């Protein structure tokens, strides 16, 4: 696919989203929804997709009504970027040319020495590894200073593994993210800072449930970011892909087995000590001196796999892997892998239900088999190495 075609597809997607937002605003106005609610909903959309802001503002010229003008006026009062303010003024001018008239609200006196409003934090999320660990970075601009940055590694079984609160210059932080955190195999993607804080709070709650002391500096960070809250459902992927978009498409679930061919899923496996019991049973069945027909041998192996699936993935573990897949779907989406993101989310949604005895979750089934055979192959290689060593004649 050429670069020009990709850009055209991206523009087409943004155009559809802009049209959807404008239609919702127009419908809300016709239903006499209060201005405050329309403003809040619109700001929510634009906070999730900042790149749509100016496009939506310009598109509002299609709704020539006093309500639209009031909405734009309120948006301008909240705006800080010069380009956004200019765009709002241009759209208000177009509405005035179309004969729209509206009442201008008197601005309240502003205190000259009013403290500046704290900046919204930036956020970055890393891919999850096979142990459930990931990098979470949150940065916030400080008046007359650089950035206050939380650097953390969290684990969904252990809580906060590493935690640092540091100051960076804006340039230094940008270089740090690019050179020290992100890689082709484990990318770092930009994410709303409020969501990163939400994930960090989840990890701290787990940390405390495990009766572990919070790391040094955590309470300082908590105070600095106390005004930040994530007001939407988690995980964040559902802000972009709805559950029913993947739940009713069986081919996505079936194709999720192929996710193990891409990073980081290709490195995901269950810990050796977890599958050791089953790999031993498989090895024993394969080396058994009892003569079995091929179908009998296959049935015996399948029985071991099914027992492993049932014992290793009770409801609690199923939901743990569900959340990992949901979070990874967002990472894939942000790195341009939309189809893989949908396959991942499809596998996650399927984990809401117990495994089918006939056709279990393809992603988890493949994860189990892969983990068992990694251990079996490792044991075989170790034994072969021992054999070669024993054949060496020492002088």
What is the predicted pLDDT for the residue at 341? 96
Q: Does 106 map to a domain? A: no
Same domain, 256 and 355: yes
Boundaries of domain holding 344: 243-386
Same domain, 127 and 220: yes
What is the predicted pLDDT for the residue at 158? 95
Q: How many helices (H) and strands (E) does the chain have?
A: 15, 5
Distance CA 156, CA 158 (A): 6
Same domain, 288 and 375: yes
Same domain, 194 and 252: no
Residues of the chain short of pLDDT 50, as ranges, are 1, 3-10, 108-114, 391, 393
Same domain, 373 and 252: yes
Same domain, 148 and 26: no
Same domain, 286 and 344: yes
Distance CA 128, CA 323 (A): 11
What is the predicted pLDDT for the residue at 132? 95
The DSSP 8-state label assigned to residue 110 in this structure reads: -
Prior bond to 235 cis, omega within 30? Answer: yes
Distance CA 108, CA 4 (A): 48
> How many CB atoms sit inside 10 A of residue 170's CB?
12
What is the predicted pLDDT for the residue at 10? 39
Q: Does 366 map to a domain? A: yes
Q: Does 34 map to a domain? A: yes
> How many CB atoms sit inside 10 A of residue 136's CB?
24
Same domain, 184 and 296: no
Distance CA 204, CA 156 (A): 10
What is the predicted pLDDT for the residue at 46? 81
Helix 272-287, helix 362-390: angle, nearest 10: 70
Number of domains composing the chain? 3
What is the predicted pLDDT for the residue at 388? 57
Order of strands across the sheet that contains 147-155: 159-168, 147-155, 133-141, 122-126, 188-192
Q: Does 393 map to a domain? A: no
DSSP codes, 134-185: EEEEEEEE-TTS-EEEEEEEEETTTEEEEEEEEEE-HHHHHHHIIIII--SS
What is the predicted pLDDT for the residue at 300? 84
What is the predicted pLDDT for the residue at 152? 96
What is the predicted pLDDT for the residue at 33? 87
What is the predicted pLDDT for the residue at 44? 83
Q: What is the reported pTM? A: 0.68
Q: Does 113 map to a domain? A: no
Distance CA 130, CA 378 (A): 18
Q: Does 181 map to a domain? A: yes
Can you list the pairs that 224-232 forms with residues at least 24 positions away whose Cβ atoms lie under 8 Å? 224/140, 224/148, 224/165, 225/121, 225/138, 225/140, 225/150, 225/197, 227/118, 228/120, 228/121, 228/193, 228/194, 228/197, 229/194, 229/197, 229/198, 230/192, 230/194, 230/195, 230/197, 230/198, 231/194, 232/44
Contact 347, 256 (CB under 8 A): yes
Q: Does 333 map to a domain? A: yes
Q: Does 259 map to a domain? A: yes
From the centroid of its chain, how far is CA 189? 9
Same domain, 50 and 184: no
Distance CA 333, CA 342 (A): 8
At which of 97, 132, 149 does a domain end? 97
């Amino acid at each position: 696919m050429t670069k020009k075609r990709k850009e055209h597809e991206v523009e087409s997607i943004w155009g559809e989203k802009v049209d959807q937002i404008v239609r919702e605003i127009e419908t809300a106005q016709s239903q006499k929804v209060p201005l405050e609610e329309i403003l809040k909903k619109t700001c929510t959309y634009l906070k999730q997709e900042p790149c749509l802001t100016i496009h939506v503002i310009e598109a509002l010229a299609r709704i020539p009504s006093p309500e639209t003008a009031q909405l734009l006026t309120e948006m301008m009062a909240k705006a800080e970027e010069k380009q956004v303010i200019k765009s709002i003024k241009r759209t208000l001018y177009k509405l005035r040319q179309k004969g729209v008239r509206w009442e201008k609200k008197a601005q309240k006196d502003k205190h000259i020495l009013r403290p500046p409003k704290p900046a919204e934090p930036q956020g970055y999320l890393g891919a999850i590894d096979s142990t459930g660990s990931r990098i979470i970075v949150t940065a916030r601009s400080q008046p007359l200073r650089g950035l206050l940055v939380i650097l953390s590694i969290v684990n969904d079984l252990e809580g906060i593994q590493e935690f640092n609160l540091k100051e960076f210059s804006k340039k230094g932080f940008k270089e740090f993210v690019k050179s020290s955190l992100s890689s082709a195999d484990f990318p770092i993607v930009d994410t709303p800072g409020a969501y990163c804080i939400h994930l960090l709070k989840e990890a701290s709650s787990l940390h405390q449930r495990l009766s572990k002391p919070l790391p040094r500096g955590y309470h300082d960070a908590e105070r600095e970011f106390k005004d930040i809250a994530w007001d939407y459902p988690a995980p964040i992927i559902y802000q972009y892909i709805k559950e029913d978009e993947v739940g009713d498409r069986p081919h996505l679930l079936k194709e999720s087995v192929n996710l193990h061919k891409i990073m980081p899923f290709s490195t995901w496996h269950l810990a050796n000590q977890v599958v050791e019991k089953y790999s031993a049973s498989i090895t024993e069945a394969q080396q058994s001196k009892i003569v079995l027909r091929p179908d009998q041998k296959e049935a015996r192996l399948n029985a071991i796999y099914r027992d492993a699936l049932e014992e290793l993935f009770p409801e609690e573990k199923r939901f743990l892997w569900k959340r990992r897949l949901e979070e990874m779907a967002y990472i894939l989406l942000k790195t341009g892998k939309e189809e893989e993101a949908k396959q991942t989310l499809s596998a996650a949604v399927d984990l809401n239900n117990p495994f089918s005895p006939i056709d279990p979750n393809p992603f988890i089934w493949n994860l189990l088999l892969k983990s068992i055979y990694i251990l079996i192959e490792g044991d075989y290689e170790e034994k072969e190495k021992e054999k070669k060593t024993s054949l060496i004649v020492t002088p």
